[in-house]
Every structure is written in structure tokens, then in C-alpha cells.
Amino acid sequence: MEGGMAGNGTDGRPEVVDMAAWQAARDELLVREKAHTREGDAIAAARRRLPMVEFDGTAEVVGPNGPVPFLDLFQGRDELIVYKHMWHDGAPPQGQCEGCTFTAWSLKDAVYLNARGVSFAIVTTGEWPEVADYVDFMGYTQPWYSVRGTAEPIGGSMGCVTSYLRDGDRVYLTYSTTGRGSEVTNPMFALLDMTPYGRREAWQDVPEGWPEGKAPCWYWRADAEGNPTWGETSRPVPQWTRPGATPVETSGRRGHH
């Protein structure tokens, strides 16, 4: 093989076979993939049949133009998806939530959602002046709002993807998910799962001899040289592309030195 790359299935690389054998193995897996897709469709159908909860859509949140009713987040549309971004008071950009940065960076453009009649917004519990500075630093153009002091289902737990429905001035919570349920917001997860080594995380089921897995989310932060690290002088990966993202001495988060 060119470059000396030859896998036997036990040396950390997939076994090398001819095209016919590869196609047979691929077709076998495709049966399972199609079943997975159909099950996903069935789950989505069940999701559409969930009940919903009405709440006060006039409750105020704070955005760039000051306090506005939650109804404004719909931007005149009937459906709304919100990502709830965790927040660490007083922390600089590099000290904000890595996972939420990972998600928000992947949701910078909602034109196709809007074309489908669905609005999108990000909310967080931070004080608005801090949030505004962070949004400016990151270059985000999606609508952001502070929901500080508001209760569920507008505020409450962060790190969630939540769906709402509007009927005139009446507003309803229809769905919410968190944890790995939020992976739908970032196609990179699915793309990594298509590669031989996947996410290179220790929890994955991989053949013997594959590269040793690391802690989950190991690649979400990097130092100034681009090396993955969760050290004090690292920051969420996309932040290094921002103007003024110079090396730092500390993440600045509470509890960190």
C-alpha cells in the first residue's frame, strides 16, 4: 500500500479488503442504518404528539433594545426554537461554557429555519451587558436575550434545546431536550461518527488496538498553538478566530485560579 498504510483490523486501522467485500459489509450495515432512520422517524412522530404547556408569553426578557415580551422572540412566526446557553457571571469569553460555545457557534445562521417558518434565538441567564459584550466578541448575529430571573419554561435550566408554539398571543412549550439530545444542533458529531476513529472518546465502543480514547469533549478547548487542552490558558476553540483573542493567563471562571 502507498505510504505503508495497511490495516489488518488489529493494528489500529480497519482491515483492508477488495471493493466487493467492502460493498458487502457496507450493504449489511446499511440495513441497520435504515432501521435506525425509520426508528428516528417514529420517534419524531411521537414527539409531534406530545402535549404542550401554556405559559405567559408577555413575560419580559432583555435584549439589545431593552426588555421585550417573550412573544417577540417568535418574530411574527408561529414556531420557535431556543437554545439555552449556560452562563458564568463575571467570567471573560474564555471562561464561558465550552459546550454552549460549541453549540452556539454551530447555530450562527437560521435562514433555512426561518424559510420554514421557524424562528431561532439564544437565551442565557447572564446580565445583559455581559452577554452583549460576549455576543460582540464572538461575532454572533443570531438573536440573544437575557432571561435572568425568569422561571421555566422561559428561564430555568440552561444547556437545553427547547421548542415553542404560538397561537396568536398564546404561547406554549412543546419540547425540550438536553445532554446528548442537544447533539442535533451540531452536525460535526454525526460526521465524526462516520470516521474510522469516531470522536476518539473513551466511552466509545471501538475495536481492540484502536487509538486510546480521551475524556469526552477533549477537543473543545485549545491553547494559542491550537493544541487541545483544558488548561487555564486555553479557551473554546472557535474563540481563537476572533479579533483580540490573545493568549490568556486564566480562564477567569469562578473556582479557577
* Residue-wise pLDDT tens digits, 36-85: 999 999 999 999 999 999 999 999 999 999 999 999 999 999 999 999 99
> What is the reported pLDDT for 257?
35
The answer to whether residue 255 scores a pLDDT higher than 80 is no
| CA distance linking residue 133 with residue 59, whole number of Å | 24
Burial 213-241 (b: 16+ CB within 10 A, else e): beeeeebbbbbeeeeeeeebebbbbbbbe
Higher-pLDDT residue of 30 and 232 is 30
At 90, list the grid cell.
463575571
**36 in helix, strand or coil?**
helix
Q: For the range 1-10, what are the long-range contacts, defined as Cβ-Cβ under 8 Å and sequence gap of 24 or more? A: 9/207, 10/207, 10/208, 10/209
**Which pLDDT tens digit goes with each residue over 199-227?**
999 999 999 999 999 999 999 999 989 99
The pLDDT-based confidence of 6 (bands split at 50, 70, 90) is low
Identify the structural domains of the chain with CATH numbers, from first to last.
Answer: 48-181 (3.40.30.10)
> What is the reported pLDDT for 9?
65
> What is the reported pLDDT for 254?
63
